[in-house]
Amino acid sequence: MARPARFSGLLSPVLTPYGEDLNPDAGRLVAHSRWLLAQNCDLAPFGTTSEGNSLSAGEKIELMEKLVAAGIDPARMMPGTGCCAISDTAAITRKAVELGCGGVLMLPPFYYKGVSDDGLFAAYAEVIQRVGSDDLRLYLYHIPQMSQTPISLGLIERLTKAYPETVVGIKDSSGDWANTKAMLDAGFDDFRVFVGSENFLLANMRHGGAGCISATANVNPAAIRRLYETWQENDAEDQQKALDELRAVFTGYAAIPALKAGVAHYSGDAGWTKVRPPLVATSAEDTNEMIGKLDALGFDMPGLREAQAAE
Amino acid sequence: MARPARFSGLLSPVLTPYGEDLNPDAGRLVAHSRWLLAQNCDLAPFGTTSEGNSLSAGEKIELMEKLVAAGIDPARMMPGTGCCAISDTAAITRKAVELGCGGVLMLPPFYYKGVSDDGLFAAYAEVIQRVGSDDLRLYLYHIPQMSQTPISLGLIERLTKAYPETVVGIKDSSGDWANTKAMLDAGFDDFRVFVGSENFLLANMRHGGAGCISATANVNPAAIRRLYETWQENDAEDQQKALDELRAVFTGYAAIPALKAGVAHYSGDAGWTKVRPPLVATSAEDTNEMIGKLDALGFDMPGLREAQAAE
């Protein structure tokens, strides 16, 4: 097996559907994944938007196996594998590599606060060593507002020096463009910088970034992908503005439940509204208001109903 | 099996020893647990000080089984079971109940930030329902500086009303006495309020609290237990002052590695210094300085060397 190519483009932290018993629903997940892939959107299951940290290691491993068994191309998957315990992180990452995943998106251990770069380096190094495979492509995950555990430039430098063929990129979800730009300007060799929101997609592409991994790719993949492909064209600023406008509707509510409410509405499958605690589903009132705003923007999710019905 | 009695007194979030391979070392854990129990200190394995969140669900379950198999009385155990994923929390809690543990100490799910009391109530309710046992005694764990997910008075009220025989206490590690006092003053029926540091033990006992669950109980259990038992005697303030002085030595360093360095020193077993990343072991220089301060206070851990050697 050849080493996986480095990712670029658009990835979606795939929403995780649940059944009535709050257990993950692999059928709906496969259907949604196919719908995303068909629009040139790659898959980052078990991200923050996926409620990835509300799933056990065993649940993540089982869902990865089911996605691949259903025929989803693992080379287009970058599952989230970072947990608080390096033993969990190593187990999920090892399985991802075994299945042939193109990469993994790895949170640092995030329970203990105020930890040092030495400690974070040791955590990543221990996982890399436990997995022990040249086929591992590791993307760091910087989301300090959630993890409270930032990935500093100094840590990236140490990791890319120690593991140049393994630590190959980062998702910057800080929402701080100055931080993203510093990562781009640092000149790490072929290091793939993804922004965590399409709000920064045009800026990222103009400065040599690799693309974006965004929550709203779950609902608006085609338009985001179009900006990724055509960022050098004359209408790029207009495209960016339209993406921002659409995204703002979802982020005007608690975003993860709101995105599920959107998928439920446009697929006609109310089961999609379920979230695992501690998240709470969007109220009917908020959903109606949100759909009204989306209608006003002429928004739709073409093909979603058919994709969900096919599973 | 009768319902477990509610806890009171002193509990230690038992330090977790690791082998050279960074896997948990059950033998050393059993030895340390026996040493604590012999001093009337009950066990709260897998707490924050135990690096509990650096262990996978499977590792916690295996260690619980080994502790009980080694003859440790499960009625004196209150393992930490709260993870980010309710599926993990339910699995560890179910095993604790099956083994006959006197209770569990349960963090709220702590990855997602800014979650509502509705969401936290739903998370605890879902775990209680999944475990489905009258033998479950659940102690809430309020440690906002680490979890970033506080347990509000309103949430305690809702949980104790809905599950009066299950949700029976809390560990308040906020370090905010006003918060602890508000919990005590709220008058929840037979609700056991533990402070998370012996700094507040005398105050807690004077206001009807149940005791304390403290990191430094790993090294100084006899003296802390003595204050718990004799808080109404004349020397209580002096005892409190001595406890505070001793504790300050350990908390003058990163506390978890410092406590392990202390156990390593007084047991003569250097293997005890190992921590899992992202924590970093105390340097030799800091350890020497710390031991100097402890010597100056006349500190010792009597019987520890023999207890460790016996395993």
Q: Is A185 exposed, middle or buried (0-12, 13-18, 19+ CB in 10 A)?
A: exposed
Whether A87 and B119 lie within 8 Å, measured CB to CB:
no
Q: Answer whether B47 touches A (CB < 8 Å).
A: no
- pLDDT tens digits, residue range A59-94? 999 999 999 999 999 999 999 999 999 999 999 999
DSSP state of B23: -
Q: Give the position of tokens 């330090």.
A: B15
Contact residues on chain A for B84, CB-CB shorter than 8 A? 53-54, 83-84
* Distance of alpha carbon A210 from alpha carbon A195, whole angstroms: 8
Q: Answer whether A152 touches B (CB < 8 Å).
A: no
Mean pLDDT of chain A: 97
Half-sphere exposure of A229 (CA within 13 A, CB side): 9
Q: Answer whether B21 touches A (CB < 8 Å).
A: no
Q: Answer whether A119 touches B (CB < 8 Å).
A: yes
* Distance of alpha carbon A226 from alpha carbon A228, whole angstroms: 5
B155 Cβ contact partners less than 8 Å away, ≥ 6 residues apart: B117, B120, B121
Which has the closest alpha carbon to B105: B64, B70, B65? B64
- In this predicted structure, what is the pLDDT of residue A1? 53
Whether B112 and A57 lie within 8 Å, measured CB to CB:
no
- In this predicted structure, what is the pLDDT of residue A21? 96
Out of A53, A56, A115, name the one closest to residue B57 (CB). Answer: A56
* Distance of alpha carbon A4 from alpha carbon A278, whole angstroms: 36
Contact residues on chain A for B113, CB-CB shorter than 8 A? 145-146
CA of B116 vs chain A CAs: smallest distance (Å): 8
* Distance of alpha carbon A144 from alpha carbon B195, whole angstroms: 29
Q: Which residues of chain B fall below pLDDT 70?
A: 1-2
pLDDT range class, residue A35, cuts 50, 70, 90: very high
Out of A59, A85, A120, name the one closest to residue B55 (CB). Answer: A85
Which has the closest alpha carbon to B63: B25, B101, B102, B14? B25
Query: Are B272 and B263 spatial neighbours (Cβ–Cβ below 8 Å)?
Result: yes
Whether B122 and A278 lie within 8 Å, measured CB to CB:
yes
* Distance of alpha carbon A67 from alpha carbon A55, whole angstroms: 16
Q: Give every strand in the sheet of A211-213, ordered side by side.
A: A42-43, A9-12, A211-213, A192-195, A167-172, A138-142, A104-106
Whether A22 and B86 lie within 8 Å, measured CB to CB:
yes
CA of B84 vs chain A CAs: smallest distance (Å): 6
- pLDDT tens digits, residue range B29-44? 999 999 999 999 999 9
Q: Give the position of tokens 């012999």.
A: B38
Contact residues on chain A for B86, CB-CB shorter than 8 A? 22, 54, 276-277
- Which residues, in sequence order, are bridge partners of residue A296? none
Whether B56 and A22 lie within 8 Å, measured CB to CB:
no
Q: Answer whether A116 touches B (CB < 8 Å).
A: yes
Contact residues on chain A for B277, CB-CB shorter than 8 A? 86, 109, 119-120, 122-123, 125-126
* Distance of alpha carbon B213 from alpha carbon B211, whole angstroms: 7
Half-sphere exposure of B230 (CA within 13 A, CB side): 14
Residue A236 Cα to chain centre, angstroms: 23
Q: Is A103 exposed, middle or buried (0-12, 13-18, 19+ CB in 10 A)?
A: buried
* Distance of alpha carbon B20 from alpha carbon B234, whole angstroms: 48
A208 Cβ contact partners less than 8 Å away, ≥ 6 residues apart: A184, A193
CA of B54 vs chain A CAs: smallest distance (Å): 4
Out of A57, A85, A120, name the one closest to residue B53 (CB). Answer: A85
Contact residues on chain B for A48, CB-CB shorter than 8 A? 111
| Residue B71 phi, psi (nearest 5) | 100, 5
Structure tokens at A133: 């495979």
Whether B280 and A22 lie within 8 Å, measured CB to CB:
no
Which has the closest alpha carbon to A99: A67, A130, A128? A67
Torsion, CA A263, CA A264, CA A267, CA A272, rounded to 10: 90
Contact residues on chain B for A54, CB-CB shorter than 8 A? 84-86, 109, 111-112
Query: Are B173 and B82 spatial neighbours (Cβ–Cβ below 8 Å)?
Result: no
Q: ipTM score of the complex?
A: 0.97
- In this predicted structure, what is the pLDDT of residue A311? 75
Whether B59 and A85 lie within 8 Å, measured CB to CB:
yes
Which has the closest alpha carbon to A217: A41, A28, A17, A76? A41
Whether B279 and A149 lie within 8 Å, measured CB to CB:
no
Cα dihedral B72, B78, B84, B89 sign: positive
* Helix, strand, coil in percent for chain B, rounding step 5: 50, 10, 40
DSSP state of B119: H
Task: For residue B61, give the H/E element and its range.
Answer: helix B57-69
Contact residues on chain B for A120, CB-CB shorter than 8 A? 277-278
Best of A83, A118, A145 to disrupt the B interface (most B CBs within 10 Å) is: A83
The predicted model gives A137-141 an average pLDDT of 98
Q: List, as one string, the DSSP characters of chain A.
A: -PPPPPP-EEEE-----B-TTS-B-HHHHHHHHHHHHTTT-EE-TTSTTTTGGGS-HHHHHHHHHHHHHTT--GGGB--B---SSHHHHHHHHHHHHHHT-S-EEEPPP-SS-S--HHHHHHHHHHHHHHH--TT--EEEEE-HHHHS----HHHHHHHHHH-TTTEEEEEE-S--HHHHHHHHHTT-TT-EEEESSGGGHHHHHHTT--EEE-GGGGT-HHHHHHHHHHTTSTTHHHHHHHHHHHHHHHHTS-HHHHHHHHHHHHHT-GGGG---TTS-PPPHHHHHHHHHHHHHTT---TTHHHHHHH-
Q: Answer whether A123 touches B (CB < 8 Å).
A: yes
A187 Cβ contact partners less than 8 Å away, ≥ 6 residues apart: none
* Distance of alpha carbon A229 from alpha carbon B264, whole angstroms: 59
Q: Answer whether B93 touches A (CB < 8 Å).
A: no
Out of B48, B86, B113, name the one closest to residue A145 (CB). Answer: B113
| Residue B48 phi, psi (nearest 5) | -60, -45
Contact residues on chain B for A53, CB-CB shorter than 8 A? 84-85, 109, 111-112
CA of B173 vs chain A CAs: smallest distance (Å): 14
Structure tokens at A91: 């187990």
CA of A53 vs chain B CAs: smallest distance (Å): 6
Cα A235 to Cα A32, A54, A219, A244, B260: the distances in Å are 29, 40, 22, 14, 61
- In this predicted structure, what is the pLDDT of residue B1? 52
The rounded percent of chain A whose pLDDT value lies above 70 is 99
Whether A84 and B84 lie within 8 Å, measured CB to CB:
yes
Q: Give every strand in the sheet of B167-172, ordered side by side.
A: B42-43, B9-12, B211-213, B192-195, B167-172, B138-142, B104-106
Best of A48, A50, A56 to disrupt the B interface (most B CBs within 10 Å) is: A56
Contact residues on chain A for B117, CB-CB shorter than 8 A? none
Reduce the DSSP state of residue B144 to 3 states and report it.
Answer: helix
Q: Answer whether B310 touches A (CB < 8 Å).
A: no
Best of B55, B84, B140, B151 to disrupt the A interface (most A CBs within 10 Å) is: B84
- In this predicted structure, what is the pLDDT of residue B105? 98
Whether B91 and A56 lie within 8 Å, measured CB to CB:
yes
* Distance of alpha carbon B67 from alpha carbon B30, whole angstroms: 6
Q: Which domains does chain A have, with CATH numbers?
A: 9-234 (3.20.20.70)
The pLDDT of residue A2 is above 90: no
- pLDDT tens digits, residue range A228-255? 999 999 999 999 999 999 999 999 999 9
- pLDDT tens digits, residue range A110-122? 999 999 999 999 9
The predicted model gives A276-284 an average pLDDT of 98
Whether B113 and A146 lie within 8 Å, measured CB to CB:
yes
